[in-house]
């Protein structure tokens, strides 16, 4: 396995020393994606936000700045990332403004209608069961709440061949279908071709479709 392949695999669930290096790189190079996330929907200072796959925690710090009277919760299934995110945000955790726990998107440890906003940056392609996981997010969103996703997509066949070795690729049409099936109103699906990024905004405006 090449170094390139190893880094992709570490992105799925960072672990060990290489995982910590990967987490540090995420905190540096994913900042533009975190900014895109926060530009997509209005955020009020008292909102409660969930970051699915929060990685090493830079996104949590940025989100907390947007909701000084609210709270930001981060989940990640990598113990190393939970530890790094907790260390980076220790002061805000002590103040009760940030919470970081080890958990999976497939079984969110939160009550129904907890969050005003759920965000995910560069993680949705790793989710175990996209349809089920979107239903879980729908469940924990408040009525009128939003899901915002920024994620890489394959711009050509060569990229698709490389990326498909490491995670599940979904087309914009795939996302449109599963979001609607989960009960979301699809407010935006936009391709940022220059950056190779996909922006998705879904809103909870009704009741979820029964499984």
Instruction: Tell whether the torsion through CA atoms of 25, 31, 37 and 42 is positive or negative.
Output: positive
Q: In what order do the strands lie in the sheet with 115-121?
A: 98-102, 71-76, 48-52, 115-121, 141-152, 197-204, 184-192
Residue 210: its pLDDT value, please? Answer: 42
DSSP state of 57: S
First to last CA, the chain: 39
In this prediction, residue 13 has a pLDDT band, given cuts at 50, 70 and 90, of low
Tell me what the pLDDT averaged over the chain comes to.
Answer: 84
- Tokens for 37, please give them: 């996330």
HSE-CB of 86 using CA atoms within 13 angstroms: 12
Residue 14: its pLDDT value, please? Answer: 56
In tens, the pLDDT along 115-160 reads 999 999 888 888 889 999 999 999 999 999 999 999 877 676 776 6
Distance CA 130, CA 66 (A): 28
Query: Is the per-residue pLDDT at 22 higher than 80?
Result: no
Helix (H) or strand (E) holding 160: helix 157-163
Mean pLDDT, residues 42-62 taken together: 93
Mean pLDDT, residues 167-189 taken together: 86
Place of tokens 């490491």: 166
The answer to whether the beta carbons of residues 110 and 179 sit under 8 Å apart is no
In this prediction, residue 16 has a pLDDT band, given cuts at 50, 70 and 90, of low
Residue 209: its pLDDT value, please? Answer: 45
The answer to whether the beta carbons of residues 148 and 40 sit under 8 Å apart is yes
- Tokens for 153, please give them: 């997509």
* Closest C-alpha among 26, 36, 29 to residue 201: 36
HSE-CB of 7 using CA atoms within 13 angstroms: 11
Environment class of residue 154 by beta-carbon count within 10 Å: exposed (0-12), middle (13-18) or buried (19+)?
middle
């Amino acid at each position: 396995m090449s170094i390139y392949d190893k880094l992709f695999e570490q992105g799925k669930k960072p672990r060990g020393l290489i995982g910590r290096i990967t987490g540090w790189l995420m905190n540096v190079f994913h900042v533009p994606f975190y900014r895109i996330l926060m530009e997509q929907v209005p955020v009020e200072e008292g909102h409660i936000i969930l970051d699915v796959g929060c990685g090493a925690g830079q996104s949590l710090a940025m989100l907390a700045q947007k909701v000084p009277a609210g709270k930001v919760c981060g989940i990640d299934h990598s113990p190393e990332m939970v530890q790094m995110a907790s260390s980076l945000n220790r002061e805000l955790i002590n103040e009760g403004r940030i919470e970081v726990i080890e958990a999976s998107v497939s079984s969110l440890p939160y009550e129904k209608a907890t969050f005003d906003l759920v965000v995910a940056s560069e993680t949705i392609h790793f989710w175990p069961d996209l349809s089920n996981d979107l239903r879980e997010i729908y469940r924990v969103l408040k009525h009128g709440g939003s899901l915002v996703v920024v994620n890489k997509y394959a711009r050509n066949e060569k990229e698709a061949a490389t990326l498909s070795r490491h995670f599940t690729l979904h087309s914009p049409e795939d996302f449109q279908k599963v979001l609607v099936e989960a009960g979301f109103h699809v407010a935006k699906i936009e391709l940022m071709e220059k950056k190779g990024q996909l922006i998705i905004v879904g809103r909870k405006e009704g009741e979820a479709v029964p499984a």
